[in-house]
Structure 1
């Protein structure tokens, strides 16, 4: 990324806005799975499992994009505690988006449940079957899902604060890219006098 660039790269913005609705959907599907015992429960599980694996793959790609395309700097007048909170919450977000699908996959493996992606494709177990491990991972998955939801709400609140109150360019750096200027077009010069 060029020095002084004020916007995230196109790949960073693409993966951010691709993953945002997937993560929101995953959170609501998870709540729906816990809250219902109807036929809808099995449908939600059938969506939840492959969506979790898709998020895992996307977060790995997103981390690679983050490493290869540096983000724009935060505003210079931003207080130090807000900078620490911004960096810490982003790190926590990436960690949770990586850990949640792995814990879910491990939980299902420990419970002896297959992870169906789609017809004919099941993922292999990644931990041995163990009722005790299953119970632990189920609890961890639940608590980390709540932490992910709180982190998401904090991220959304910070985005709104920067976009609506501070108007310091932090929100627009992810919301849209830099506008291109056509340097090949010559400026109009008034030659009348």
Structure 2
């Protein structure tokens, strides 16, 4: 996703990218905590599930918007001081983050569909099923959803660590490119 091949003159992500990044950061962190809560609290589980479903679909829709914005806009290049292996790690981690932001909500939706449960967005409005009713598919989708949620958690931790290293140690403009508009724009 990042490139060092050509300098575009862009010093920060556009407003939509910055807004979507931070909105989704909050939603994804909330979802990770909600997911842990759903697995650890029987009394809060029904309420958390009712929150988890529409939030997951909101993340899916925002991820589609974010991907569209990313494909249609210019992104700031990484500084020349970033070693090649770090640039490649950033590229791979961003690709995986996008894949997971799209796949996890779809897997959750498919899990409920295969289990013959409605995906209720709010009272009176359910999404259509996207998978056939099947206990085998339900088990597979549920396991994949849980596994990929842990992968997302680890990627988010790595992303956060890299962001803080760029902000506090390297101070090379990588962090500020997603936190504020570039000067003179």
TM-score when normalising by structure 1 = 0.91
Match of 2:25 among 6, 16, 20: 20
What is the Cα deviation at residue 124 of structure 1? 0.5
Question: How many residue pairs were aligned?
Answer: 179
What is the Cα deviation at residue 180 of structure 1? 3.6
- Paired with 1:163 and 1:16, the residues of 2 have a C-alpha distance of 16
1:147 corresponds in structure 2 to 151
1:184 corresponds in structure 2 to none
3-state SS, counterpart of residue 5 of structure 1: coil
- Paired with 2:110 and 2:143, the residues of 1 have a C-alpha distance of 12
Mapping of residues 65-76 of structure 1, within 5 Å: 65-76=69-80
For each residue in 1:76-101, what CA deviation from the matched residue of structure 2 results, as whole angstroms up to 9, or x when unmatched?
12111000000000000000000000
Structure 1 stretches (4+) deviating beyond 2 angstroms? none
For each residue in 1:21-80, what CA deviation from the matched residue of structure 2 results, as whole angstroms up to 9, or x when unmatched?
000000000000000111x11100000000000000000000000011121000112111
- Paired with 1:3 and 1:74, the residues of 2 have a C-alpha distance of 11
Mapping of residues 44-63 of structure 1, within 5 Å: 44-63=48-67
Of residues 59-68 and 3-12 in structure 1, the stretch that sits farther from structure 2 once superposed is 3-12
Instruction: Give unpaired runs (5+ residues) of structure 1.
Output: 182-193
3-state SS, counterpart of residue 70 of structure 1: coil
- Paired with 2:69 and 2:172, the residues of 1 have a C-alpha distance of 24
Note the aligned Cα RMSD (angstroms).
Answer: 1.1
3-state SS, counterpart of residue 121 of structure 2: strand
What is the Cα deviation at residue 3 of structure 1? 2.5
What is the Cα deviation at residue 119 of structure 1? 1.4
3-state SS, counterpart of residue 175 of structure 2: helix
Q: Does 1:172 align with 2:176?
A: yes
- Paired with 1:164 and 1:27, the residues of 2 have a C-alpha distance of 26
Mapping of residues 97-176 of structure 1, within 5 Å: 97-176=101-180
- Paired with 1:73 and 1:29, the residues of 2 have a C-alpha distance of 35
Q: Any conservation in 1 of the 2:9–2:76 contact (CA below 8 Å)?
A: yes
Instruction: Give unpaired runs (5+ residues) of structure 2.
Output: 1-6
